[in-house]
Structures are given as structure tokens and as C-alpha cells.
Amino acid sequence: MLLKSLVKPKNTLTTVTEDVTLAQALEVLETSGYRCVPILDTTQKIFRGNIYKMHIYRHKSQGGDMNLPVTHLLKNATKFIDVDTPFFNVFFSIRDLPYIAVLDKNNHFYGILTHNRLLEMLSQSWNFNVGSYVLTVVSAGERGDLVDMSKIITKYTSIASCITLDVQAGELVRRVLFTLPADVTHEKLERIIANLERKGFRVPEVEDLQA
């Protein structure tokens, strides 16, 4: 489920309502410095879409009427998620957008989830701030490999975080990134790597987070 703590709530955002003109919307965009803001209905409850500065500039440069309603250049009307959207689906929904609108259980505009906030959350999941080393461990992708790798590491220490890459059909290898806790010494790290490689796993890269 999408965590509400990741979402910028409506009351902190710059928005425009559907009854403003393109000229008024452009003034809001230029004053705020944003390239895009949400368009809401006149009750400020319903998400109508987004208005982009570049589209207004293009319209203006082509001699377009700036007194037209902002909805004339409305974009992304169907690009939204709700607060109960599975987190995995969020990545596909936000892929090509600077942010995605978030609706509450009543389908009212709740706020936005930005690309930057999503990336911050992912970086936190790596536990860089509290970790010592990140091991890149390569396996053949056999069943049970992740369990075996974890067992080897947890003989010596706990695991701060774990991320699996290359999990696509047809891939011949799997890369797993393990973040180790801050109290892991270099000597303990060497023992972990030696044990992993003794069991047939490769450790091609080690990142020292304290360096």
C-alpha cells in the first residue's frame, strides 16, 4: 500500500481551478516556478488533470487565445492513483510524469507523489546512513540462492537491507545487493566474502559506505 507519508497533501500544493484562464494559469506557474501544477474543479475536490508551462508557452507563441479556460490544454486527466494503490503499481503509473495525483477513498484529490520523493524513499531503503558496506553478490539464479546467501551472511551479522536486480525472464545471472550494518568490521567483511565465494557465489563489488 502507498504510504501517506510519501504524499504531499493538497493544502501544501500550488494548484489552479478549472475556471481560470490560460493567462492566469501561466502567471501562477511563473510565480511558483513549477513546470506543471494540478487542475482541480471549482470545489477543489476533484482532480481534472495537469497544466504544463511548456504547453501554454507553445499555445501563446502560436497566437492562441490566452483567455481560454485552462482545461483547453489539460493533460494527464487519467493519470492518478489512490491511497490504497499497491506500491508496486506506483512505479508503472508515475514512470513518465514529474508527479502523480493521489485520490482519497472518496475519489477526492488528496495530494501528489513526486518522482523525487519516490527516489528518496528508495535510497532510504538501502540504509546508506546506517550501513557499513554494500555487497553485490552474483548467483546463477537457482532456487534457494537467496536463502543460502542470507544464511551465510547472518552467520556473522544481521542484514540491514536487501535488493534483487536482473529478475527478468531469460537472465542467466542474478545480482543481489546486501547492505550490512554499521558495526561490521573489515575483518568480518572479508570472512563473509570468503564464505560466499567458497559456496559458489561471486562478490564482484563492495561499496564502503563510510569511505
pLDDT digits (tens, 9 = 90+) for 37-56: 999 999 999 999 999 999 99
Q: Which of 69, 177, 82 is nearest to 133 (CA)?
A: 177
**Strand order through the sheet with 174-181:** 161-165, 174-181, 131-139, 202-208
d(CA 129, CA 135): 16
Q: Please list the alpha-helical segments (H only) found in the chain.
A: 22-32, 53-61, 87-94, 115-125, 145-154, 186-198
Structurally, the chain folds into a number of domains equal to 2
pLDDT digits (tens, 9 = 90+) for 21-39: 999 999 999 999 999 999 9
Give the DSSP per-residue string, 18-48.
Answer: TTSBHHHHHHHHHHH--SEEEEE-TTS-SEE
**Structural domain span for residue 148:** 127-208
pLDDT at 121 (0 to 100): 75
Same domain, 134 and 116: no
CATH value at residue 32: 3.10.580.10
pLDDT digits (tens, 9 = 90+) for 69-83: 999 999 999 999 998
* Mean pLDDT, residues 103-132: 82
Could you give the C-alpha distances from 90 to 21, 74, 86, 196, 203, in angstroms and in order? 32, 22, 7, 35, 32
pLDDT at 171 (0 to 100): 55
Same domain, 87 and 143: no
